[in-house]
Amino acid sequence: MWRVIIRVSYFSDSQSRLRNHVATLFAAMGLQNTNTGTWESPAVPLAQAATRLAQVLQALANPQAVPGVDPQAALNHLWVYLDRV
């Protein structure tokens, strides 16, 4: 199991479509939104975390592939903290 803490922000994400898409991936990983731009969970299975983080990185690398996302939407920053629990 991994403890996972992620902080993310975006540029030009009108209507929060990119954020909402990524939020569904975080929620599927079992992360909770702390309402400060941070998502975290005390324990996520290794394979699940790796699969979901790969999906997050794909969405952030090509945000316009997400339906309805603003053409100017882009990642501002992504901070990821993982440790084995």
d(CA 9, CA 78): 7
Mean pLDDT of 6-23: 95
Mean pLDDT of 52-57: 96
DSSP state letters, 23-80: HHHHHHTT-EE-SSSEEEEEEE-HHHHHHHHHHHHHHHHSGGGSTT--TT-EEEEEEE
State pLDDT tens for residues 15-24: 999 999 999 9
d(CA 72, CA 17): 12
State pLDDT tens for residues 60-83: 999 999 999 999 999 999 999 999
CATH architecture of the domain 2-84 equals 2-Layer Sandwich (3.30)
Which residues partner with 5 through β-bridges?
40, 81
Q: pTM higher than 0.85 for the full model?
A: yes
- Whether residue 36 has pLDDT greater than 90: no
